């Protein structure tokens, strides 16, 4: 029984890594820019689809495809911010939310037209032979997912905490007007932040596609679960997005293993309801809400 539970926990950590990467990108965009990005799930799927094109149609090795796709998605994020979000800088949050909803519909239908509705298998080159860790089993692709997710999250944390760009991001987050007065280029910081959030979502889509498949049907559910994770952790909290993602992955895995897989997608909403009854701001929510 204990060994089975530990296996489900390990599986939940892998799933939680997918959620955490998408949610970190989402919470950065919301925390820094005040933008509720409903297209995060589509960026997630687009990353997986481009990885499929790179590895299957272009024949690139998986390790070369990852940085190539992330570079493309970085440019996509910057273009989206420049074209769609820059004119909406001072608009109400609901207005920018409607723009991202429209973007999600456009991206989903465009991907449907270009890639078709069939799930795509990314050629990662990993062996399907399981690795034995004590009494637990894990595949190479799942282990790679955990390692890359940890590295990516640590890298983003160091970027925000230790670099000049990160200090500028934190200054904009704390007081945009004061940051502008001392010469921080607000538009550039916003563009950088949105591109970073887009790239993290794409990285999660690439990793999930290497473990399972890349599928358009996951876009909407991914966006919803990303919001679940962000609410669990606390809106705008970097640490909360990580903990919330892992928590949701663990709860879903244990519930699916011991109770029923039929309600795995519902358990996250139930978890949010229970948590908000006791902690309305989430696990790591800020003491005061930001005004926009």
What is residue 290's predicted lDDT score, i.e. its pLDDT? 44
In a domain, residue 88? The reply is: yes
In a domain, residue 233? The reply is: no
Structural domain total, the chain: 1
The residue assigned the tokens 């989402």 is 26
In a domain, residue 22? The reply is: yes
**Which domain covers residue 49, as residue numbers?**
16-219
In a domain, residue 153? The reply is: yes
Q: Report pTM.
A: 0.94
In a domain, residue 188? The reply is: yes
What is residue 289's predicted lDDT score, i.e. its pLDDT? 42
What is residue 286's predicted lDDT score, i.e. its pLDDT? 57
User: Over its length of 292 residues, how does the chain's per-residue pLDDT go in tens digits?
Assistant: 788 999 999 999 999 999 999 999 999 999 889 999 999 999 999 999 999 999 999 999 999 999 999 999 999 999 999 999 999 998 999 999 999 999 999 999 999 999 999 999 999 999 888 898 878 899 999 999 999 999 999 999 999 999 999 999 999 988 888 999 999 999 999 999 999 999 999 999 999 999 999 999 999 999 999 999 999 999 888 999 999 999 999 999 999 988 887 778 888 889 889 988 888 888 887 544 444 4
The residue assigned the tokens 């029984």 is 1
In a domain, residue 288? The reply is: no
In a domain, residue 7? The reply is: no
Q: Which is nearest to 16 in space by CA: 282, 276, 274, 254?
A: 254
* C-alpha distances in Å from residue 118, one per residue of 47, 59, 114, 157, 207: 16, 20, 11, 36, 18
For residues 103 and 83, give the distance between their C-alpha atoms in angstroms, rounded to a whole number.
11
For residues 218 and 63, give the distance between their C-alpha atoms in angstroms, rounded to a whole number.
24
For residues 226 and 18, give the distance between their C-alpha atoms in angstroms, rounded to a whole number.
10
In a domain, residue 260? The reply is: no
HEC sequence for 174-240: HCHHHHHHCCCCHHHHHHHHHHHHHHHHHHHHHHHHHHCCECCCHHHHHHHHHHHHHHHHCCCCHHH
């Amino acid at each position: 029984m204990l060994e089975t539970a530990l296996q489900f926990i390990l599986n939940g950590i892998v799933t939680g890594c997918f959620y955490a990467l998408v949610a970190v990108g989402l919470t950065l965009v919301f925390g820094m820019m005040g933008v509720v990005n409903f297209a995060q799930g589509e960026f997630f799927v687009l990353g997986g689809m481009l990885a499929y094109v790179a590895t299957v149609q272009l024949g690139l090795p998986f390790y070369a495809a990852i940085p190539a796709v992330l570079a493309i998605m970085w440019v996509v994020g910057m273009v989206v911010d420049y074209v769609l979000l820059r004119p909406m800088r001072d608009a109400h949050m609901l207005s920018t939310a409607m723009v991202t909803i429209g973007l999600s519909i456009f991206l989903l239908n465009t991907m449907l037209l270009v890639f078709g509705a069939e799930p795509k298998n990314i050629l990662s080159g990993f062996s399907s032979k399981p690795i034995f860790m004590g009494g637990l089993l894990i595949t190479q692709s799942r282990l790679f997912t955990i390692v890359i997710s940890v590295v990516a999250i640590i890298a983003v944390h160091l970027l925000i905490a230790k670099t000049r760009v990160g200090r500028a991001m934190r200054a904009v987050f704390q007081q945009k007007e004061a940051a502008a007065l001392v010469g921080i280029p607000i538009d550039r910081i916003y563009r950088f932040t949105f591109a970073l959030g887009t790239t993290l979502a794409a990285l999660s889509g690439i990793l999930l596609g290497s473990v399972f498949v890349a599928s358009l049907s996951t876009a909407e559910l991914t966006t919803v679960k990303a919001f679940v994770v962000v609410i669990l952790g606390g809106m705008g909290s970097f640490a909360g997005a990580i903990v919330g993602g892992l928590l949701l992955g663990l709860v879903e895995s244990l519930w699916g293993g011991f109770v029923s897989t039929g309600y795995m997608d519902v358990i996250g909403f139930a978890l949010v309801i229970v948590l908000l009854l006791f902690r309305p701001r989430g696990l790591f929510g800020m003491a005061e809400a930001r005004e926009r």
